[in-house]
Copies of this chain bind each other. A is one copy, B any other.
Amino acid sequence: MKIGVFDSGVGGLTVLGALVKQLPSADYIYLGDTARLPYGSKSQATIARYAVFSARFLVEEGAEFLVIACNTASALALDSIKNAVRVPVLGVIETGANAAQASSKTGDVLVIATDATVTSHAYKAACTERNLRAFEMACPLLVPLVEEGWIEHPVTLEVLRVYLLDLLTQSRAAELTPDTLVLGCTHYPLLRPQIERTVPAMRVIDSAEATAGQVAEALNDRVPVDSVGAREFYATDSVEKFKRLGTRFLGSAIESVGLVDLGG
């Protein structure tokens, strides 16, 4: 079983890292569309076009199951991708909403994500389907802070305080009593301890972990248990930068990255 994992950049490696822990013997092919990131600030039409190119590449390279690790692409392009390829496709919004449903006792959840994911209200829609009320907020500074490596920096702690207290205030003004916070962007798991310290009353859902758990459930009987599979990495821009940044997100070294030109 070869699992394709797609993201606009290196952030989806947090999802791959969680998958490898759950299903080490599967083969993995990862594509980061780094030439065209970030998707978070682009329009639906542009994101769908880029995501379909990327999904087709992974299937052409042998992927039998696709995980859309990019929240923005899951929010805005999942149907386009499903229409474009003939393999099963799972997005992180659906898996994150499932995990929120399992976690929340009050039925009210908070979601932090990129601009485009929030504007799409994809988490809100997925939560509504599960009888949850969701309150979403864009946190556009968190991705650059993570990429700058300012994980424990006072500036990052202050930005989290500003965003999360604003989110709590707004959600309470809307008469929600949230008990669960969904990290709706693949970069945010790197700030999970800092986020948990800022809002200690919230149960934090890391959609990378949630996704890996649900992929493992779907595929478990189709993946051998006693071997270690292959890992292939591709990027559409600088492979050196992908290796350097990516290692931090994956949690282990990336030996080799192929450069692929998807046009544009």
Contacts and interface: CB of A to CB of B under 8 A. Distances in A.
Interface string A115-158: 00000000000000000000000001101110110100011001
Interface stretch (A15-23, A35-43, A190-198): A35-43
Main secondary structure of the interface of A (DSSP, over half): loop
Interface string A87-130: 00000000000000000000000000000000000000000000
A238 interface: yes
Contacts of A264: 36, 262-264
A260 B150 CA distance: 37
Contact of A36 (B36, B140, B241): B36
A237 B42 contact: yes
A222 to B, nearest CB: 36
Nearest to A138: B148
A225 interface: no
A223 to B, nearest CB: 35
A2 to B, nearest CB: 27
Give the interface residue-count category, chain A: 20 to 34
Interface string A164-184: 000000000000000000000
B46 A42 contact: no
Contact of A140 (B148, B237, B263): B148
A84 interface: no
Nearest to A50: B264
Given A46-B237, A155-B155, A263-B263, 14 more contacts: A34-B42, A35-B42, A36-B36, A37-B41, A42-B237, A46-B236, A141-B141, A141-B144, A141-B145, A141-B148, A141-B150, A154-B158, A262-B264, A264-B264
